[in-house]
Chain A
Amino acid sequence: MPQPQPPDDQILDTVHKTVIFENVVLGFGDLTVLNGVSFELKRGETKVLLGVAGSGKSTVLKLCLGLIKPDSGHIYVLGHDVTTMPEEKLFDLRGQVGIVFQESALFDSLTVRENVAFRLTEEKLPEQEVDARVREVLRFVELEDAIDKFPSELSGGMRRRVGIARAIITHPEVLLYDSPTGGLDPITSTTIIELIMKQRDVSKTSALLVSHRLQDGFMLASHYYDTETNRMQAVDGRPMRDVHTSFMILHGGKVIFDGTALELGRVQDPYIREYIS
């Protein structure tokens, strides 16, 4: 069935919006996972995707990268309609989008250095430049000492940090985090959230963050990264500081909430109230 195309006179606002979902429908067999999902991710914004297991949160991230195609609807990433792009062209676009997988998905036969440098090596950059940039991002995630280790020698938290380093090494315009704190202890989870915050506030990268943990989202919405102390600080008492963080809740294949933390706190929908309580 032919897909409706945006009218010629409708110019996509890629200056202010990095990801646009337009009425996206996706099913696997008889199961409809997404049923008319529409949302926008503004430039510099971090959107926290919440929902119960199986609500299609991770699917949204895979759709953004064109790893799977929707049954209908359109997805624009940095102005490109990934639903109609052939795989060959998607490889170029994916260079501008970073993803951190749920289980890190590090290449287990490569060292940390080779994992993080993967994109740069593929681009055949000079060895010296690759080494410098790998060390720079590993310093960012505080893992420079693990440069020659294999993923099997790292803890879960360290693997996530390597995953983040691999995702940010090319300075992508959009970052996708798939449950970056899933299965981690509270202290390590806070470290990961602090890194995501650092990326948001220092590099101003747009991000979609899938999480089961509401506290991760609220921490992002209530703290900012202080570059002077190199720690996260609570926003309390600094009302002018915008943390560029919003929330989106998926339920039954639809977006049932899309707004700020303040709006989420005021919502009266019984399902959402039960979910956030």
Chain B
Amino acid sequence: MELVSPAQFAKRGVLAVQEYSQLSARSLVNVFRQPRYVADTMQQADLIGFGSLPIVVLTGFFTGIVLALNFSPSLERFGALSLTGQLVSLSMIRELGPVLTSLMVAGRNASGMASELGSMKVTEQIDAMRALGTDPLKKLVTPRVVSTVCMMFFLTIISDLVGLFGGYLYSVARLGLDAYQYWNTAYQSLTFNDVATGLVKPIFFGFIVATVGCYYGLSTHGGTQGVGRSTTQAVVTASVLILAVDVVLAQLLISFR
């Protein structure tokens, strides 16, 4: 392993942040610039949105069941088992729905983007695209960012609903709760702030997944080994960033209550 001085390490870190910021900013600015790659955006939306649906549905469903399963003993102790729906809905919609969906999509798509763009980079396809007069950021990055942000929003809604349904199945089948009671407490306990929090977070998380995946892909070097390294780094960085940004957003959005 190559040993680097602390100064060199710091310089590399600052350079990486600068390059990532530039890529993120340009991917946003390009949304308002010609040419717009609508077909590429649709194709990515299909790959990211529809392709991630099974994993997101399964994650949401099992998380809903586990939430009901874990909350129920404590609630039963206080004679408040009827509040299971409320706890499942608040946990899913405010926190677990957006975060778990984003982590799943990061695992599936940030890695996919990093490996796809990384392979293009090491086989000179990115240089070829630039040489042919096409901006890779417009053609490859912006469609991925736009589609991931849009799809993450809808995937989170689906994950929330499926999670609530999972909690409902467990509550009715194992806890013997009334279906009306479950859905009523789940619905009544939600405030506008809860729903807004749950819908704002995936927009930020989607942006992180796409930009981190594309950044690592486009900065790949070192052949096939480099592609593997970029893929791993993309998933790790995107996951850590999602959790870190979640803390900031949770603090920020809770102040609007």
- Interface residue ranges, A against B (CB under 8 Å): 62, 65, 67, 87-88, 91-92, 94-95, 97, 99, 101-103, 105-108, 118-119, 122, 124, 166
Bound form: Cα–Cα A49–B120 in Å: 27
Determine the chain B residues whose CB is within 8 A of the CB of A119 once the complex forms.
132-133
Q: Is the interface of A mostly helix, strand, loop or mixed?
A: mixed
CB pair A94 B133 closer than 8 Å: yes
Bound form: Cα–Cα A51–B134 in Å: 31
B95 on the interface (CB 8 Å rule)? no
CB pair A108 B132 closer than 8 Å: no
Determine the chain B residues whose CB is within 8 A of the CB of A88 once the complex forms.
135
B127 on the interface (CB 8 Å rule)? yes
CB pair B134 A122 closer than 8 Å: yes
CB pair A95 B125 closer than 8 Å: no
CB pair A101 B127 closer than 8 Å: yes
Q: CB-defined interface of B128-163 with A at 8 Å, one 1/0 digit per residue?
A: 111111110000000000000000000000000000
Tell me how many residues of B have a C-beta within 8 Å of chain A.
14
CB pair A101 B124 closer than 8 Å: yes
- Interface residue ranges, B against A (CB under 8 Å): 35, 120, 123-125, 127-135
For the complex formed, measure the closest distance between the CB of A96 and the CB atoms of chain B, giving whole angstroms: 9
Determine the chain A residues whose CB is within 8 A of the CB of B128 once the complex forms.
99, 101, 105-107
Further contacts, 8 of them, CB under 8 A, given A122-B133, A122-B134: A67-B130, A88-B135, A91-B130, A91-B135, A94-B130, A101-B128, A107-B125, A122-B35
Determine the chain A residues whose CB is within 8 A of the CB of B130 once the complex forms.
65, 67, 91, 94
User: 30 pairs across A/B with beta carbons < 8 Å?
Assistant: A62-B127, A65-B131, A67-B127, A67-B131, A88-B135, A91-B134, A91-B135, A92-B133, A94-B130, A94-B131, A94-B132, A94-B133, A97-B131, A99-B128, A99-B131, A101-B127, A101-B128, A102-B124, A103-B123, A105-B125, A105-B128, A107-B120, A107-B128, A108-B123, A108-B125, A118-B132, A118-B134, A119-B133, A122-B35, A166-B132
For residue B135, which residue of chain A has the nearest CB? A91
Determine the chain B residues whose CB is within 8 A of the CB of A106 once the complex forms.
125, 128
For the complex formed, measure the closest distance between the CB of B220 and the CB atoms of chain A, giving whole angstroms: 15
Bound form: Cα–Cα A124–B38 in Å: 13
Determine the chain B residues whose CB is within 8 A of the CB of A122 once the complex forms.
35, 132-134
